[in-house]
Amino acid sequence: MKPTTLRKTLLGLLTGATILASAGIAQAADITLKVSHYLPPSHGFQKDFLENWGKELSEKTNGKVEVKIFDATSAFGKIDRQADQVRAGVMDMAVGLNGIPRDRYPAASIIEMPFLVKHADSGSETLWQLYKEGLLGSDYQDFKVLGLFTHEGGLIHTLDTPVRSLDDLKGLRLRTPSPAVSAMLESLGASPVGLPPSAIYENLQKGNIEGLVTTWDLVNAVKANELLKYHTDAAAYTAGFYFVMNQKKYDSLPEDVRAAIDEISGDSLVVKFGDWWNKWEAAGKADAEKHGNEIIKIDDATRAEWQASVQPMIKEYLASLKEKGVSDPEAIYKRAQELNAEFDAKYHAGDK
């Protein structure tokens, strides 16, 4: 072989080795982030929210980051462990329900006051703005908060007793998602029962509960429309949710990855929940209609009467939050009312 040819061959081999080595380094630098939630893999939390969020993060980091999702069917899907798993570093991120375990986020529970929130877009942006204004105190202090949101105004779903008036609630055993909603139910004469979503169907079937307060979306997700007969649409309450990340994990990531996470979270994420909940609620309502269930719509005048009846309960609940470390719950509630009204005017001024 001629010297020139030999030199070219050696250079080619060296160049190839360099490229392979670089590819190996890039592969070794890939990042997998683990996120958990407590609902089935078919739920919108995964299909619309987390899968798209993960895809967007991968695109913005040129494939450097992969997001791996652990749903309710996994060992990491217990509803009461979502935040604790993130705090311990078992999960990098999680989506959870504020009210389970109870009293974990007392200031944030103010968004769940009865008849405050009718729409997921307004409720979500109100809760997020309260956080941004520093009004939620030490709630979420251990985390990098990626987003906070609420669902649509919740319904009362029952097996055999149609709820057309407040008197119809008296004595009913109803599944509740949070302490705030439990307080509302107790004030109206019902008996709240705390259950994770995975236990709803079985307890309805056995008669341990006579109904539940939740969204169209959840009764559909747990197949409860097969058993339920009545759905009272009073937009009586909402529940708050969190999307949080382990702070140390976030701090350990490369700057460009942190920037990408920030770009697709917070304001740009929270604004999406209104449309998502509309989609999820529509599917749940359609499923109830398919089963021939009766939908009882509470008019605005009756809703206002119901709202007036729970004012003593709201006052008492806010006062109780002071014992849980919330310095001025009345001021937070007032600000929540102002913000929610502003967002309702922005998004729903033309609603009938």
- pLDDT tens profile 185-217: 999 999 999 999 999 999 999 999 999 999 999
Residue 351 has what pLDDT? 84
Q: What percent of the chain has pLDDT over 90?
A: 90
Contacts of 104 (CB under 8 A, 6+ apart): 83, 98
pLDDT surpasses 70 at 246:
yes
Contacts of 211 (CB under 8 A, 6+ apart): 156, 157, 158, 159, 161, 163, 172, 173, 174, 175, 204, 228, 230
Residue 198 has what pLDDT? 92
pLDDT surpasses 60 at 46:
yes
CA neighbor of 43 nearest in space, from 133, 151, 145, 136: 151
Residue 350 has what pLDDT? 81
Q: What percent of the chain has pLDDT over 70?
A: 91
- Can you tell me the distance from the alpha carbon of 221 to that of 198, in angstroms, rounded to the nearest whole number? 10
pLDDT surpasses 50 at 88:
yes
- Can you tell me the distance from the alpha carbon of 317 to that of 184, in angstroms, rounded to the nearest whole number? 9
Token pair, residue 69, equals: 């999702």
Please write the tens of the pLDDT for every residue from 251-298.
Answer: 999 999 999 999 999 999 999 999 999 999 999 999 999 999 999 999
Model-level pTM? 0.90
- Can you tell me the distance from the alpha carbon of 26 to that of 30, in angstroms, rounded to the nearest whole number? 7
Please write the tens of the pLDDT for every residue from 154-178.
Answer: 999 999 999 999 999 999 999 999 9
Residue 1 has what pLDDT? 52
Please write the tens of the pLDDT for every residue from 247-260.
Answer: 999 999 999 999 99
Average pLDDT over residues 83-105: 97
HSE, side-chain direction, 13 A CA sphere, residue 63: 3
Average pLDDT over residues 81-89: 98
- 335 and 328 in contact (C-beta within 8 Å)? no
Residue 172 has what pLDDT? 98
Strands annotated E in 178-322: 191-194, 211-214, 230-233, 240-246, 294-297
pLDDT surpasses 90 at 18:
no
Average pLDDT over residues 315-330: 97
